């Protein structure tokens, strides 16, 4: 039997890009008050046709039911300077609910989904499927739109990475 401690000790060695998952509650008033979001590393590419990704969402996360009801969510891949946003959406600053969206430059898509500006990439997804997995739901999102920064005018930005319970960047290995 693998204990929670062993599970966490193993998984913390997997370096992961940090994302914020966000959605707007269908049943709430318009605007940020009805928005919910959380920091996530359990994000994976699933398929390129149709373009899909997966997100592991703890069922106790306040955004969980909002995403299930809305049937739409965004995946915002953070740059390394956006660690304050990661902390905010992980509940580490005390900001809660719609208040979290005061940190970062948030816009709203035509479909009413919150999207963060200044990311490495942002995906807007519709909820295609959900898989029940213990404490978590794996939400499968069909990627409807992708926003990429203009890397032609600048070098690609450094991602925010989480490893051993710390944030870091990446250090490319020189080739040749």
The residue written with tokens 């898989």 in the block is: 131
Whether 77 and 121 have beta carbons less than 8 Å apart is answered as yes
Q: Of the two residues 12 and 109, which places its CB atom closer to ligand FMN in the complex?
A: 12
Nearer to ligand FMN, 61 or 119 (CB): 61
Question: Of the two residues 162 and 174, which places its CB atom closer to ligand FMN in the complex?
Answer: 162
Binding site for ligand FMN (CB under 6 A): 18, 38-42, 56-58, 61-63, 89-91, 162
d(CA 24, CA 165): 29
Nearer to ligand FMN, 71 or 91 (CB): 91
Closest approach of Cβ 39 to ligand FMN, in Å? Answer: 4
Calpha distance 86→81 (Å, rounded): 10
The runs of H, that is alpha helices, within 92-160 are: none
Q: Least distance to ligand FMN from the beta carbon of 49, Å?
A: 25
What's the closest the beta carbon of residue 110 comes to ligand FMN, in angstroms? 25
Buried b (16+ CB within 10 A) or exposed e, 87-114: ebbeeeeeeebbebbebbebeebeeebb
Nearest distance from residue 59's CB to ligand FMN, in Å? 8
């Amino acid at each position: 039997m693998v204990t929670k401690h062993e599970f966490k000790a193993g998984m913390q060695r997997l370096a992961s890009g940090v994302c914020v998952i966000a959605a707007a509650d269908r049943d709430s008033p318009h605007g940020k008050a009805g928005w919910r979001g959380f920091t996530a590393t359990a994000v994976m590419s699933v398929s390129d046709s149709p373009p899909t990704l997966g997100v592991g969402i703890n069922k106790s996360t306040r955004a969980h039911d909002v995403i299930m009801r809305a049937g739409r969510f965004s995946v915002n891949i953070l740059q390394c300077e956006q660690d304050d946003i990661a902390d905010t959406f992980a509940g580490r600053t005390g900001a809660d609910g719609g208040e979290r969206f005061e940190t970062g430059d948030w816009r709203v898509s035509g479909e009413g989904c919150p999207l963060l500006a200044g990311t490495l990439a942002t995906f807007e997804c519709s909820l295609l499927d959900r898989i029940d997995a213990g404490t978590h739901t794996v939400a499968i999102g069909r990627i409807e739109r992708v926003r990429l920064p203009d890397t032609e005018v600048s070098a690609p930005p450094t991602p925010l990475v989480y490893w051993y319970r710390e944030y870091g960047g990446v250090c490319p290995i020189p080739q040749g």
